[in-house]
Amino acid sequence: MAEGVWVIAEERDGEFRKITYEVVSEGRRLADALGQSVTAVVLGNGMKDKAADLAQYGADKVLVADDARLSPYTTDAYVAVISQLVKNGDPAVLLIGGSVQGKDLAARLSANLGVGMAQDCTGFAAEDGNLVIIRPIYAGKAYAKVTFENSWPQMATSRPNVLSINEPDASRSAEVVDAEFSLDDAALKTKVVDVAKDESGKIDLTEADKIVSGGRGMKGPENYEILEKLADLIGGTVGASRSAVDAGWRPHSDQVGQTGKVVSPNLYIACGISGAIQHLAGMSTSKVIVAINKDPDAPIFQKADYGVVADLFDVVPALTEEIKKYL
């Protein structure tokens, strides 16, 4: 009988990423609801010393697979190792953070294990021993409530920035165990040959706490400077609508919406964005939405918690100055 909630940790350059704490915390909540324990699975190179920290967020046990070939991440190495651990450990639930890496891993691992998997979920509950999950579909134009049938472990990824992180509890401890696995070099067909860091140091939109986004109303690439200033001040990241990206004003990686990134920041400030359905789909799970637009009939105002009907070129610089008073 499959038992236990397993969560997969994600590291980069020897540090756990924020999404790791999100899934450990959610794993704790689910395990409590199911009356089971939480095992965090850590893959990497030299991560063992940090592994015990995950106890503070809710892990009862940490399984560490330590191997130079497990950092940086590659799909084939991770799938090979986690598949063995899951087959040996037989968990009931396998939860992975829905970062780029986590979604990539989950996609292939689910086929390897032959199980059902729900990607990019925003809500988790346990009912009668089964996971019941909420996930946005059509980029958030509809929500699906799903569960699993004859499929163990019950497997899902969580959308970044959605799950709350438990207050770390220093009194908690976890058993740290070396995982037993084998990894055959001949089975590793991919390797990371280069890592080009984004020198701007800006936080990816999917993980940003605050986003200042600009659309067609920005009138040109040169005008994004006022958004950059506001974003820098509040520790945010600049995003863009599809029309701004298609016009070549901003890179593809900045696009928010159905054919871009789906984001869930605490604060989303939409500047000169009319609010096409595809854009609204990509940002409607933001906690607080601000719209700044000259057109009082712009659909974005229907989704906004706070709307400012005015020229963004007047409001944004003024807002930047006003916010300084509160920081």
> Would you say 33 or 310 has its CB closer to other proteins?
310
> Would you say 56 or 286 has its CB closer to other proteins?
286
User: In angstroms, what is the minimal distance from the CB of 47 to other proteins?
Assistant: 18
DSSP assigned state of 128: T
User: In angstroms, what is the minimal distance from the CB of 223 to other proteins?
Assistant: 16
User: In angstroms, what is the minimal distance from the CB of 1 to other proteins?
Assistant: 18
Instruction: Give residues with Cβ within 8 angstroms of 287, minimum separation 6.
Output: 264, 265, 266, 267
> Would you say 36 or 258 has its CB closer to other proteins?
258
**H or E element at residue 11:** strand 11-12
> Would you say 58 or 91 has its CB closer to other proteins?
91
> Would you say 68 or 196 has its CB closer to other proteins?
196
Cα–Cα distances in Å, from 73 out to 81, 90, 94, 280, 298?
Answer: 12, 23, 18, 33, 43
> Would you say 139 or 273 has its CB closer to other proteins?
139
User: In angstroms, what is the minimal distance from the CB of 243 to other proteins?
Assistant: 13
Q: Is 101 helix (H, G, I), strand (E, B) or coil?
A: helix
Which amino acid is residue 57, in one-letter code? Y
Q: CB 15: neighbour CB atoms within 10 A? A: 12
User: In angstroms, what is the minimal distance from the CB of 292 to other proteins?
Assistant: 8
User: In angstroms, what is the minimal distance from the CB of 22 to other proteins?
Assistant: 14
Cα–Cα distances in Å, from 25 out to 30, 152, 169, 263?
Answer: 9, 21, 11, 20
> What tokens were used for 160?
């970044």
d(CA 81, CA 187): 11
d(CA 175, CA 220): 56
